[in-house]
Amino acid sequence: MPAVSEPLVDAVFERVRECIDTANHQLGIQLTYPDTSLSLRGRAAGTAHPNQWRLRFNPVLLQQSPNVFFEEVIPHEVCHLVTFALYGRVKPHGSQWRTLMETVFQAPANTTHQLDITAVQGKTFAYACHCGEVALTVRRHNKVQRGEASYRCKRCHQTLMPVSAVL
């Protein structure tokens, strides 16, 4: 995918500033603008790093769904910073965060996005249990291969085995 256009990058930074300004105005606080980058890879749309007062966004998913980013993803991540500033270390999607999402940012308090991640999915490896096949990421597959980890099915709790080993 080509690099993100400068106007879209500028719009992301502006939306982050708008969200911080909204929180400052509505809550009577004085938060600074966070360090913001479009350097996130993988399946996550965005991440907040409250201790570093930093936000990272996924440029591939941004280009695919800019409206979702501006309406949901950016407020979601800014809300993590605001929650941290007000309450310190609390549950990431706990009651404080949900309340701020709905009242300050007027956005749904969804904990995950519903964006199409096929463009950022990466290679997966087939594993299986009694329930059927499960796709593991390269990182998890390599940990299994090196004997550093094993993974269990969330439904039947059986240890997942590589499909080739199940046959």
User: The tokens of 14 are what?
Assistant: 């502006």
Q: Which residues pair with 134 in a beta bridge?
A: 127
Count of beta carbons in the 10 Å neighbourhood of residue 33: 14
Q: Is 14 marked active-site?
A: no
Q: Which of 71, 77, 102, 133 is catalytic?
A: 77
**What is the Cα–Cα distance from 151 to 83, expressed in whole angstroms?**
33
Cα–Cα distance, 120 to 59 (Å, whole number): 10
Q: Within 10 A of 121 (CB to CB), how many other CB atoms are there? A: 12
The residue behind tokens 């993974």 is 151
Neighbours of 115 (CB within 10 A): 21
Asked if 40 and 62 touch (Cβ cutoff 8 Å), the reply is no
Catalytic residues: 77
